[in-house]
Amino acid sequence: MAESSSQLPPEKKRRRTVAHDSSSFLSEEQFVCSVCLDVLADPVSTPCGHNFCRTCLTHCWDNTPRCLCPLCNEIFTKRPELKINTTLREVVDHFKKKSSLDKPDVLCDACTGVKSKAEKSCLDCGLTYCKSHLDPHNNVPKLKKHKLLNPVKNLEDYICQKHERPLELFCRKDKMCVCQFCTEGEHKTHNTVPLEDESREKRTQLGKTQSEVQQMIQERLKKIKDIRHSVELGKTNTEKEIADSVEVFGSLMCSITRNQAELLQVMEEKQKAAERQAEGLIKDLEQEITDLKRRDTELEQLSHTEDHIHLLQMYPALSSPLHTKNWTDISTDTDLSIKTASTVLSQLQKNLNKKLNLTINIKSQQYSVDVTLDPDTAHPRLILCNDGKQVSYGDAKQNLPDHPKRFDRCPVVLGKEGFSSGKFYYEVQVKGKTHWDVGVARESVNRKGQITLSPQDGCWTVCLRNGNDYKACDAPSIPLTLKEKPQTVGVFVDYEEGLVSFYDVEARSHIYSFTGQSFTEKLYPYFSPFTSVKGTNSAPLIISHIFKTE
């Protein structure tokens, strides 16, 4: 007779409690079959200690000459007799019931009358079967080859509507799931991979996105804490100021009662305004936290799903960034009014613009150089004007000598003159372009084959991609946020200081600077008009003539 819980000794009671409570710490990964990547169904164990679905392991051994473990590849000289691990099955069933990821029951398509709970869906048959109706797929050799998966309600989403075959592949060019027949037709030349590989990659990317969302949540929680602390500190300071004011005015009450009342009212209104501001900020932060937590939950569920179709359909929406504020410099301020702060910031901006404008004028007047393009370095598709001041990308490859200095893979051209000391400055017009690279390169830069744009590879450049994606080409590249779209870019180099700076000439603003560099070779102006992109980006890069004033 089994012992009742009241009759168990303390040690057994404690072990039973631990075993029961530990289920809350279990995750789906602990119960996944490494063959079908689904939660174990009728789990069996190999002599080496690994667990698989009985159907999956039987199918593996029926289709291979040797019996080996699909996970660790241990070979068994005699085919082991498979028996269901009843203890593990109970734990798995318990986990399925407790798990929030467990899906609602799917019913068998083959049952008549009262339908039983489905065990598997067959992509080849296009039907979902209960345990009894699934038996032929476990015993009939021809049916053993069918593609089975955990039961789903929307089975038609897993079958190619054109060829009525299982969707087993993912076309990375068209971003869609396809069947094997699709790869013999319109997707023949496309890059297709197994759904499991694409799903695994997207799940990894979703994990990274989820980490970023969780970090944003923590940052906003900290911001709420800082704001509340600021409000409390302001409140304490206000109360102290009021107390001090009362003490000061106490001795002069008869003569300045009216002034005291006005001062107290102003101070209290100031505090209330700060509290209202804080409440508004906290409300916005809490709303963002709610949105981020909802995104985090969606990412958590999607990162654990084995429903590859659903994952790939939802991935674009869930991997896109949420529209959130930058809270870094937002705070409550009880000592400086908004008007005063705006005035100070405005004055600072005017002084900064004045200083930057003067800096660009000095550089353009004192250090400007006459840059001419070197045709011996130009890629065969690049078209140079006769004066050597313009370069654009051509439709046809020109028959040019294979000069050692010529770039043969990337559409690049360098300036004729190199600089090994001092300071120099030039400007290049990028108006009307959606893609370009501008900067300087060392003399030994790689000119044959693909080029990596980074200081380590001898290039100090900024670039534009897709019309508004500006980057400083470092390792890794650094995204740039520009208020205006530069029409002319100024490039300044201080060889001895190891400095390469970029400016928006019209806006008189600084774009980016590489600092602390160590130059040991000649540096040459670097230009790439990039290729034509779907008929766009045909405008040339034009080296500007800088007029010097006496």
pLDDT digits (tens, 9 = 90+) for 97-144: 766 444 567 899 899 888 888 889 898 888 999 998 999 998 898 898
pLDDT value at residue 435: 95
Q: How does DSSP classify residue 102?
A: P
Provide the 3-class DSSP secondary structure of residue 368: strand
Q: Tokens at residue 321, please?
A: 């960034």
CB-CB neighbours of 444 under 10 Å: 10
Q: Could you write out the three-class secondary structure of 450-500?
A: CCCCCHHHCEEEEEEECCCEEEECCCCCEEECCCCCCCEEEEEEECCCCEE
In order of 49, 106, 259, 300, the CA distances from 256 in angstroms are 89, 82, 5, 65
pLDDT value at residue 129: 93
Q: Tokens at residue 154, please?
A: 């929307």
pTM: 0.40
C-alpha angle 496-478-451 in degrees, rounded to nearest 5: 75
| Peptide bond preceding 476 in cis form (omega within 30 of 0) | yes
95's enclosing H/E stretch is helix 86-98
Q: Which of 170, 169, 168, 156 has the alpha carbon at shortest distance from 125?
A: 156
Query: Do strands 523-528 and 436-442 pair parallel, antiparallel, or not at all (unpaired)?
Result: antiparallel
Q: How far apart are CA 537 and CA 234, in angstroms?
A: 55
Establish how many alpha carbons lie within 13 A of residue 255's alpha carbon, considering only the half-sphere containing its beta carbon.
4
Q: How far apart are CA 12 and CA 6, in angstroms?
A: 11
Q: How far apart are CA 137 and CA 64, in angstroms?
A: 18
**Is there a contact between 83 and 113 (Cβ–Cβ < 8 Å)?**
no
**Tokens 């949540």 label which residue?**
217
366 contacts: CB under 8 Å, gap ≥ 6: 423
C-alpha angle 110-111-112 in degrees, rounded to nearest 5: 120
Query: Do strands 469-472 and 459-465 pair parallel, antiparallel, or not at all (unpaired)?
Result: antiparallel
CB-CB neighbours of 180 under 10 Å: 14
Q: Which of 478, 402, 500, 483 has the alpha carbon at shortest distance from 447?
A: 402
| Angle separating helix axes 131-139 and 54-62, nearest 10 degrees | 20
CB-CB neighbours of 114 under 10 Å: 6
Q: Tokens at residue 174, please?
A: 């068209």
pLDDT value at residue 337: 43
| Angle separating helix axes 253-304 and 195-250, nearest 10 degrees | 170
Q: Tokens at residue 307, please?
A: 């429903």
pLDDT digits (tens, 9 = 90+) for 408-445: 999 999 999 999 999 999 999 999 999 999 999 999 99
Rg of the chain taking only CA atoms, in angstroms? 35
Residue segments in the chain with a per-residue pLDDT below the cut of 70: 1-29, 98-104, 241-264, 302-308, 310, 312-313, 315-316, 318-322, 329-364, 548-550
